Chains A and B, each alone.
Chain A
Amino acid sequence: KAGVTQTPRYLIKTRGQQVTLSCSPISGHRSVSWYQQTPGQGLQFLFEYFSETQRNKGNFPGRFSGRQFSNSRSEMNVSTLELGDSALYLCASSFRQGESSPLHFGNGTRLTVT
């Protein structure tokens, strides 16, 4: 069974631009969460989607947004990029929403903002 797939693996953008990252969850998984990983802040929760609805959102500005499609695939968008948005963006999927449903991560998209 294929794991969580994130595209692209690497992106270089300039300040002020916007970017869209894509995530395909493990087949059959309906919950998708996004995380930002930086050396200074570690792994920080961005948002979670289940059944095309955002279920929770972390403490990030409104420039960070996401959506989920009917096939459970998800995208996240960052508008008006800032240098501090440079990070590894990780997507994780789980079979369902529930305490006994662990998250499985993809290999991430490395975003560099210049």
Chain B
Amino acid sequence: GQQLNQSPQSMFIQEGEDVSMNCTSSSIFNTWLWYKQDPGEGPVLLIALYKAGELTSNGRLTAQFGITRKDSFLNISASIPSDVGIYFCAGRNAGGTSYGKLTFGQGTILTVHP
């Protein structure tokens, strides 16, 4: 089956530092999505990417859809304590009739020390 490898598994950083995480896939995706999940809540959509090479920002967050369509990365600049949480990448295959099936990475646990 499809595999999404997300790294790193966890990060411990100081407030103000920049963060980078990435996902690689064994197969091609047509959509990459990045989510953040806080304890006791569902994943919240951060950024959606739909085209190979696309670079999209959302405030201090920037994500890119890899040229090969098999990878994506997320950068967080100038981290703050509320960035703490688990970040997930998710990929969606092309075509067919099912657009609700996403393959998720294992998640990156981010801890920010004030």
Which residues of A pack against B, CB within 8 Å?
A: 4, 6, 31-33, 42-43, 45, 48, 50, 55-56, 58-59, 90, 92, 94, 97-108
Contact = CB atoms under 8 A, between A and B. Distances in A.
A59 B31 CA distance: 22
B41 A58 contact: no
B interface, by DSSP: helix, strand, loop or mixed?
loop
Given A99-B92, A102-B33, A55 B42 contact: no
Q: Is the contact region of chain A dominated by helix, strand, or loop, or is it mixed?
A: strand
Interface of B: 1, 30-31, 33, 35, 40-45, 48, 50, 88, 90, 92, 94, 96-107
Contacts of B99: 31, 48, 94, 97-99, 101
A86 B33 CA distance: 26
B101 A48 contact: yes
A45 B96 CA distance: 16
A36 to B, nearest CB: 11
Contacts of B50: 99-100
24 contacts: A6-B42, A32-B100, A42-B104, A42-B106, A43-B43, A43-B90, A45-B102, A48-B98, A48-B99, A50-B100, A56-B97, A56-B98, A92-B42, A94-B99, A99-B30, A99-B92, A100-B31, A102-B33, A102-B48, A103-B100, A104-B45, A107-B40, A107-B42, A108-B42
A99 B40 contact: no
A70 B90 CA distance: 29
A103 B98 contact: no
Given A43-B88, A99-B92, A103-B33, A55 B98 contact: yes
Contacts of A100: 31, 48, 50
B98 A99 contact: no
B57 to A, nearest CB: 16
B43 A90 contact: yes
A105 B42 contact: yes
